[in-house]
């Protein structure tokens, strides 16, 4: 029988990306799948805190094993910005990718150092079957690269159209999802997460 696990997101892009990377014998459920329509507030000041807040909310309110991620684009010349504020860098309530991209490009205008990295943190929380104690794991995945001077490519989402991963001369937006899923920060975090999942699936 397949084990199931909740991924604390309703972001269709992220869900599709994760489902393509995850082991086949694990069913990944979204917040919508478990009837959770709460927009869990991300009030942390680090990626780790935000991931934990989301995963723990599901465990506490639904009693289900859950993992959550938070991803940030960290630009060296901008002192690590947008970082934990990547989704709402341009301000406002919504996640306006276009406005966020334009703000990064504007802030880097005339700056030679374009070094950046994407970092994904995954928090996994579940109850120990024997003791009932809460268990928490944190893993991360990083991909280094650089920021372009203008948008390139239409694949992906978020900052993909302005980020060129190390070892490539195209942005994630140009490389497409198949290549991105092999080399991305989220893919690397999920691969690091796979060991935790092996033990969970065996339980």
User: In this structure, how many other beta carbons lie within 10 angstroms of the beta carbon of residue 113?
Assistant: 12
The token pair at 151 is 């948008």
Nearest to 140 by CA among 122, 124, 125: 122
Catalytic annotation, pick one of 33, 37, 69, 70: 70
Residue 169 appears among annotated catalytic residues: no
Nearest to 66 by CA among 49, 77, 54: 54
Which sign, positive or negative, has the C-alpha torsion 126, 14, 16, 18? negative
Q: What are φ and ψ of residue 13, in 5° steps? A: -65, -50
Catalytic residue numbers read: 70
């Amino acid at each position: 029988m397949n084990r199931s696990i909740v991924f604390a997101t309703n972001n269709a892009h992220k869900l599709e990306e994760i489902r393509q990377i995850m082991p086949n014998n694990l069913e990944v459920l979204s917040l919508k799948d478990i009837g959770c329509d709460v927009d869990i507030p991300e009030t942390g000041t680090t990626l780790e805190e935000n991931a934990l807040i989301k995963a723990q909310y599901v465990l506490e309110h639904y009693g289900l094993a859950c993992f959550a991620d938070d991803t940030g684009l960290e630009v060296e010349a901008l002192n690590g910005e947008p970082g934990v504020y990547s989704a709402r860098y341009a301000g406002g309530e919504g996640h306006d990718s276009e406005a966020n991209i334009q703000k990064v490009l504007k802030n880097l205008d005339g700056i030679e150092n374009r070094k950046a990295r994407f970092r994904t943190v995954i928090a996994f929380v579940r109850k120990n079957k024997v003791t009932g104690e809460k268990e928490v794991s944190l893993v991360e995945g990083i991909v280094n690269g650089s920021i372009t001077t203008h948008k390139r490519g239409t694949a992906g989402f978020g900052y993909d159209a302005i980020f060129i991963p190390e070892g490539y001369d195209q942005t994630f937006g140009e490389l497409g999802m198949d290549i991105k899923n092999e080399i991305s920060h989220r893919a690397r975090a999920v691969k690091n997460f796979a060991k935790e999942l092996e033990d969970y699936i065996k339980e």
